[in-house]
Structure 1
């Protein structure tokens, strides 16, 4: 009769350390998320400053420089299309791959606690992958912006957009200025806006190439590590090839449209590939074994290990704390 009250008091006192540990884990996770959010905000600030408050370096040019004398053409891959390529397409890939991966594992209904919220495990993993992808994208974007505004290289259609007028009132088309190096000039830009003239000085490196290659190469690496087709061994590689070809076509279009020199595209492509490799290997850790939801939550999902222990370790042996156990300590250890 005395055992029942003792068991009852013990059952009531157990949750206290568990609650304290859970609260401490939530606080650590909150601090971590806030710190990472602050890092992302810091990365966004330079992009906004460059785009809206900084003028690119003003470089001189030769009036007879044929590399900047191409006609102006519209973008084949517009900024909106680029946004869909580096934004919407990766999101669709993340959603499909994460859902299919968890569906095959049979844990689509599994849940995890995150800051007091219970959500599906594959939702949490989806958020983690998207977060790391966006972080690497911002790093690549920042590196691209630094290059553009520091170098200030003139685009192939610079003369057509700027229509420079020298300080003495003469034009580059005048015979006396054909071999002249011009540093002091004003852009007339008839038929073009001030933003068009400003953009004509942002050729190196190619932002379309760097962002497209980052997104598509990262997606190819992500598919390599996350998903496999059981019906066809070549299906995954075909999809990876198609993604890389999207980036390749985007880069080639920049040369065809006279928006970039070939060296701008080459440098931007290398920059994007390097960003994808660094993000996948050292930030998202796609190639590490066992990297899963534990990175996000700071621990493994809670499971009922008592049933597993009873079934796999000692199926016929009751645990030593069982009230009906007929085994003493020596017998239990021998049995296990």
Structure 2
């Protein structure tokens, strides 16, 4: 069977120990997929893996608000980021919620018939674009904002990692493109998806061996209020931020200034601001942030040296991915949004 991984060869999950094994255990229990490739690909960097899982778990899975709405928000994010793998996954997970008609409607590219669902999907898509009119007011209850915003930001990160380091195939042969497979796959996850686990378990992984960087992550941003989403978000920021050490000062400045001026658009093929392979670290970080699907073998080879391991590449991609998340989070009009439902 062809490997789903690009540019890295992650450790075999069967040999996992410590915090990585603990993530796989929670994945099996709370997500229904013990060895989800979206997290296997991060396993050479345990701090990033554990904090990315914690953010997804505490927002999408254990956060306030119904799972169907949060799956629609995550689908909208994944569509905006042009991540076929994640788009297919969320279409299947909509089947797992039990709303099969909705799952098939969005799979055909049609808007949901329900106005509220359509607004949530549009909100998810709009989170990529600073100032988009669909961002306010919230299409969900203000009390659910920490979970919805956390879900959106989690998938802005995950989409970028997936597009950079996985193939587009969710299942071998892309069989998830068939309605019967989508429905069957969703039904197999229905029992897990329809449970509502207690918040906080994801945070227990952040004190594991090798995760000392997360000790001072803090409570998280104000929009997360006092929910467990906040510490999870802060932990991912801290873990991904360590990747900046792989760049020199000039490259870090270029990444920061480029993201500061970014308007949410996908870069053109003739991207004047993208450095050449003579600055391979900055090139990879910016591609991971804004167009991860355009990372090539040649880009990675230009950066690789004997001391730059798979774990280093994961850290660099995570740094670029979170640079985009940070820009998106900072532009969200969280104070202007009002409760609408």
- Does 1 or 2 have the higher relative contact order (CA < 8 Å, sep 6+)? 2
Q: TM-score, normalised by structure 2?
A: 0.25
**Greater percentage in strand:** 1
